Chain A
Amino acid sequence: MTAEAPLTAAVEAAAPAVPGPRARTTTRYLRYGAGKVAGAAVSLFAVLVTGFFLFRLIPGDPVKTMTGGRPVSAEQLDSYRREFGLDLPLWQQFTEYCGKALTGDLGTSYQFHTPVVDKISEALPNTLILTGTAFVLYTLLGIVLGTRSAWRHGGLGDRLNTGLALTLYSVPSFWLGLLLIIVFSVGIGPVPGLFPTGGMESGGEEGFAHVLDVAHHLVLPVVTLVAVEYGQTLLVARSALLDEMGGDYLTTARAKGLRDDQVRRRHAVPNALLPTVTLVFVNLGRTVAGVILVETVFSWPGLGGLFYQGLSVPDLPLVQGLFLFFAGTVIVMNTLADLVYPLLDPRVGR
């Protein structure tokens, strides 16, 4: 990882006379990275194209859905089509869409009469607060519990841990959410209703009171998400560590007289983390897409719900924009994972 800081310096140094071993590594890394970035760009373009045509396959004419149930003259329908640009030939719609997308203009939502970029930036922070908090917690919890499980695999703790994680992993999130609402929000028997039933804020609070209010609303949805998600990380972390457990270097470490705890934390876990890193980045990419079921149960005003509303019209600019954004984030995150991986594991990228 030392290559990170002097990266640019190394590149400059790479040109003159004799490239040192470090410079050679750096060049190789840069070539590797450039390949990954180029691949990501191609993927992004593919997403742009897919997004445009995919959502035009959804049955349903947005103009008719939006005016459904109201008396509308053919002229009015035509004027809507003109306004939305749906009267143009498909290829022209496509080139316009691509051109605008490149400048960051994702069009205007049909149903909300608002630029899609505004709708996304309005809901994105809400989603990130929810999924981001949950992501950090379930990743940490998964890694900590997973490595502990593996370290003493087969024991009672391991069996309990894995059993619980698997059970929660297979629980439908909306069901768990509703259960938590009934128990901890409404209150049952001696359990008082501690948390709000839904939403992200009560409204009307300012400053720190507002932060507290959001935190208060955040507890139950985050608990739900962590409960159903940490199992995956736990299992990956556990099996990764199990693979490392037979390693000779651990015996060496023990022979040096290190305590068991130190052997695990300093030697085994760092090596076992590699597969987990991939999963972490995949999960990180997913965080922006929101979690539609949990968002619905807890009435969280995030991107997942927005996407659903877009699909039901179909609100083409909105769904296209969101699709591009979601897929784009996953691609960027995966590319980042690809870029980070060789730094963590020098065997990759050679």
Chain B
Amino acid sequence: MSTSQQHGRARRRLAAATGAGALILTAGLVPQQAAAADGDKVLTVAVAQSVDSLSPFLAQRLLSTSIHRLTYEYLTNYDAEDARAVPALATKWTSSPDKLTWTYTIRSDSSWSDGERATAEDAAWTFNTMMTDPDAATANGSFVANFRKVTAPSPTELVIELKKPQATMTALDVPIVPKHVWEKVDDYSEFNNDKNFPIVGNGPFILTDYKPDSYVRLKANKDFWRGAPKFDELVFRYYKDQDAAVAALRKGEVSFVSGSPALTPAQASSLKSEKNIKVNDAPGRRFYALAVNPGARAKNGETFGDGDPSLKDERVRHALFMAVDRKTVVDKVFQGYAVQGEGYIPPRFDSYFWKPSDGQELAYDPAKAARLLDEAGYKKNGDGKRVGKDGKPLDYRVLCHATDPNDKAIGQYLQEWWGELGIGVSLNCVDNVTDPWLAGTYDLAFDGWSVNPDPDFVMSIHTCGALPATPKDTGATDNFICDKQYDELYAKQLAEYDPVKRADLVKQMQSRLYDLGYMNVMAYPNAVEAYRTDQIASITTMPKKAGNIYGQDGYWSWWSATPADTGDSGGSDSTGVVVGIVAGVVVLVGAGAFLALRRRSTAEDRE
């Protein structure tokens, strides 16, 4: 054996020892998540949704529009308590008696992050651009479609003239952009506002950096008129996998996880037992329903699609309604993270919430459902199947979202419940429900909408006016409902400016919708989200009493969040990075050296 080989062996032992030593050392030394080096308090939020665009004229997704809420002021905001319109860029507003001219007073203490003052001229320019350039109307064009003229007689006065009265004039969700920056843009269809950081804005946060599907960074706007946010920085960090996001929360890498749309019951339960983590199990703003296809039709009277004609019979619809056990849906499928469905609008919006009276309620009652079906002429045959007068058995196709486990689970219950009634159920779970949905080629479908503080939109999608003009067009209609009585109520509430009277009309509409039996609201899923209490000391939910944090209508949550004194705020830690990499390199080099040396030694041994 030569000396060099002896050296080789000694080296090998040395390398192994060093490797092991380094590993042990790093194991003991890694300081978990110390505060960011410069002492800035960073609030890190886990998100999954990609940004479609950072241009307020193009952005439509929840994350992008939430970022705009944080970086630009809108004319009005929604109160965290009860979602009524409160001052934002506009301090007050009045309308002419005919409701056709609206005058907004623009605040004089809001300035853009480049120092220029935000004025009524910026607002007028924003609206006018949307009205004149179709590309700028991509995201929010519906708000200005009814505008006749927008002017700014003075820096603090904005006047909007309408063609006809519009209910959303205090809820214009349009970010006002700085004219002096945006008038230089040539083509609004391709300008994504994601190149020149920091992006000039006047919201509570300033957008400082963005990397697609990696992160969005915002820093607190210290000059924000309502007061600076308490955290110095707000970072939306991407976790494409919800389990990974939960792991990151557990580790403290992020301060907040919302889940999309909510954390699963399993995730929520496992986080509940964790110390320093609070699970916010808040009443949601969504309803989760089973929609009946009453036969697809267009405004011109043409019918299309192939909805089962038996569903035109109200008794059949009521029977189906009564054979759904909503309690089981909430207990077993949502595992308690939902509220049993009643009316159309979730109880969270308490001024509009309506529930059926005792006599009206279509409670779970399979026996009564069977009687109703008998009355309607669908009697059970020898095989136990309900058969119509035409001799055809009742078989329903239920359209479900392949990506939603709740749809599938409830679908199986439907097969059981309705099967006992003698009705066949076939689940049609597809990735893209839009096409069969719009074509009306289904019998029933899982349906759900997120409800805004102003319920106008979710109510409007059940009016005859929302039907497509011809079968070739797309209407705003949800499931082709067209009911005269409902429409009359809808028209009345549209013209009613007294909030209490309007709420009453909205409730009457819900009552009518319930009686029609086209929309069986089974549950209101909760917004289940979680945050670290050692990073966030307090945060405003919306509504304040019991509400959600992510995806609020206003910017209250992130603006109000206060950092916890102890611990860090989710900032990255350079010591950890270095140690981690050193450990990784040591392992790799160790493994490589081990292999190399072993090979030499074996060759040597075999000689």
Contacts and interface: CB of A to CB of B under 8 A. Distances in A.
Contact of A259 (B432, B468, B607): B607
Given A204-B209, A298-B244, A70 B60 contact: yes
Contact of A70 (B142, B212, B468, B469): B142
B579 A194 contact: yes
A113 interface: yes
Contact of A261 (B190, B438, B584, B603): B603
Interface in B247-268: 247-248, 250-251, 253
Contact of B474 (A77, A182, A192, A212): A77
Contacts of B572: 196, 202, 204, 213
B328 interface: no
B543 interface: no
B251 A193 contact: yes
Interface string B223-265: 0000000000001011111011101101101000000000000
Interface string A234-278: 000000000000000000000000011110000000000000000
Contacts of B460: 71
B211 interface: yes
Contacts of B485: none
A59 B432 contact: yes
A219 B239 contact: no
B403 to A, nearest CB: 9
Given A114-B192, A215-B581, A296-B241, A76 B211 contact: no
A164 to B, nearest CB: 14
A306 B214 CA distance: 13
A61 B607 contact: no
Nearest to B137: A76
B251 A108 contact: no
Contacts, number: 185
A198 interface: yes
B430 interface: yes
Contact of A178 (B244, B248, B584): B244
Nearest to B580: A194
Interface in A182-208: 182, 185-187, 190-204
A161 to B, nearest CB: 12
Contacts of A213: 572, 577
Contacts of B250: 186
A108 B434 contact: no
A111 interface: yes
Contacts of B60: 66, 70
A112 interface: yes
Contacts of A260: 603, 606-607
B474 A65 contact: no
A144 B595 contact: yes
Interface string B434-447: 11001000000000
Given A202-B577, A216-B580, 11 more contacts: A60-B434, A73-B145, A74-B469, A77-B473, A192-B32, A194-B30, A194-B576, A198-B239, A198-B245, A202-B215, A204-B209
Contact of B431 (A202, A215, A312): A312
Contacts of A201: 211, 214-215
B534 interface: no
A309 B595 CA distance: 42
Interface in A207-235: 209, 212-213, 215-216, 219
Contacts of B142: 70-72
Contacts of A123: 212-213
B238 A112 contact: no
B50 interface: yes
Contacts of B245: 197-198
Nearest to A306: B213
B134 interface: yes
The 3 A-B pairs with the shortest beta carbon distances in the complex, nearest first, are: A261-B603, A301-B213, A71-B476
Contacts of B248: 185, 197-198
Interface of B: 26-27, 30, 32, 50, 52-53, 55, 58, 60, 134, 141-142, 145, 189-190, 192, 209, 211-215, 217, 235, 237-241, 243-245, 247-248, 250-251, 253, 430-432, 434-435, 438, 449, 457, 460-461, 466, 468-469, 473-474, 476, 572, 574, 576-581, 583-584, 595, 599-600, 602-603, 606-607
13 contacts: A60-B432, A64-B434, A71-B461, A74-B473, A77-B474, A123-B212, A194-B30, A197-B248, A198-B238, A198-B241, A198-B245, A299-B240, A306-B213
A142 interface: no
B583 A299 contact: no
A72 B476 contact: yes
A186 B474 CA distance: 48
B239 A197 contact: yes
A203 B215 CA distance: 7
Nearest to B58: A113
Contact of A194 (B213, B432, B574, B583): B583
A64 B438 contact: yes
B211 A301 contact: yes
A181 B247 contact: yes
Contacts of B599: 148, 261
Contacts of A215: 581, 584
Contacts of B55: 113
Nearest to B189: A113
A196 B253 contact: yes
A112 B52 contact: yes
B580 A112 contact: no
B217 A204 contact: yes
A12 interface: no
B235 A65 contact: no
B136 to A, nearest CB: 12
B214 A64 contact: no
Contacts of B58: 113
B434 A197 contact: no
A55 B503 CA distance: 47
A182 B607 contact: no
Interface in A109-130: 111-115, 122-123
A185 B251 contact: yes
Most buried by A among B30, B53, B134, B248: B248
Given A194-B580, A194-B583, A299-B244, A64 B213 contact: no
A7 interface: no
B251 A197 contact: yes
A328 interface: no
B473 to A, nearest CB: 4
B345 to A, nearest CB: 17
Nearest to B141: A76
Nearest to B215: A203
Given A186-B251, A216-B580, A178 B243 contact: yes
B251 A187 contact: yes
A277 to B, nearest CB: 22
A65 B434 contact: yes
Contacts of B430: 59
Contacts of B474: 64, 67, 72, 74, 77
